[in-house]
Amino acid sequence: MNDQNGTDTGNHETSPRAGMPPVAPPQPSRPPTSSLPILPPAVTVTDNTDVTDVTDDKPAPKAGEPRQTLFKVGFVVAGLVLLGLLTWWLATLIASGNEQAANQPPAPAVSESTSPSAQPTRGELPQDGVSALDYQLGDCFENFDPEATESRVVACTTGHSAQLVAVYRFPESDSYPGIAALREKGREICQDAGLTDAVANYVLMQRNAYPSDTSWEQGDRRVDCYVTADKGNIIMESLIP
């Protein structure tokens, strides 16, 4: 209803004027936010409250970790180099030792003719039936027979007729040298035997004993030099130092 002055005094709906286009509503002052992501509410940190970072579970690298990693790698590399050098040194040392052993000349034959204080170590004397292959340098023999295979060994301070004053042993690997070479070796060791001045007290001879080809095959490699009296058991002392 309109009053007389045409003033709108009631609440009523209005419609567009006849013949006028509809008027569009005014544009909002800022764009709507219905399509934007909704941010989570801010977290307020209070005492005894654990806050978990939901964006990244990886811990932040500590300062100095790259330097420590490089140091460890360098230490491992240095250890490998040192181990390689040690292995090379050991291999070189072993090869050198083998070469020296290969180039070393074979051990010479054993000669007992120059042994100092060549007294026998048999134990209690006299001893009967001692084999010729068991004679020891310095042994003194009663009633000595150079052709016998065994003898009676007595103390050199008692009467005896012979003494073993020099021994030479050929190497086990040697082949049988023959009678002439064995005789020559016997003369050589007798000449080199060091005798005491007591030899001037007796009439003495030198005798040799050496292996036959048969005894050589059985392992006999020794050449012996004896000093013997011309007769009887007249020698009363040792004739070697």
Task: Identify the three-state secondary structure at position 117.
Answer: coil
Q: What pLDDT, on a 0 to 100 scale, did the predictor assign at position 31?
A: 52
Distance CA 153, CA 120 (A): 10
- What are 24's two structure tokens? 């569009």
Task: Identify the three-state secondary structure at position 235.
Answer: strand
Distance CA 168, CA 223 (A): 5
What is the residue-level pLDDT of the chain in tens, covering all 241 positions? Answer: 444 444 344 443 434 434 444 445 555 555 554 444 545 544 444 444 443 444 445 555 555 566 666 667 676 777 787 787 778 777 777 877 666 656 665 555 666 654 445 556 788 999 999 999 999 999 999 999 988 999 999 999 999 999 999 999 999 999 999 999 999 999 999 999 999 999 999 999 999 999 999 999 999 999 999 999 999 999 999 999 9
CB 168 within 8 Å of CB 109: yes
Q: What pLDDT, on a 0 to 100 scale, did the predictor assign at position 84?
A: 79
Distance CA 65, CA 69 (A): 6
Dihedral over alpha carbons 204, 205, 206, 210 (to 10 degrees): -130
Q: Where are the beta strands (DSSP E) in the chain?
A: 110-111, 127-131, 140-142, 150-154, 162-169, 204-209, 222-229
Distance CA 212, CA 124 (A): 32
- Global pTM exceeds 0.75: no
Distance CA 7, CA 17 (A): 17
**Position of tokens 């080809």?**
213
What is each CA distance from 62 to 11, 68, 72, in whole angstroms? 72, 11, 16
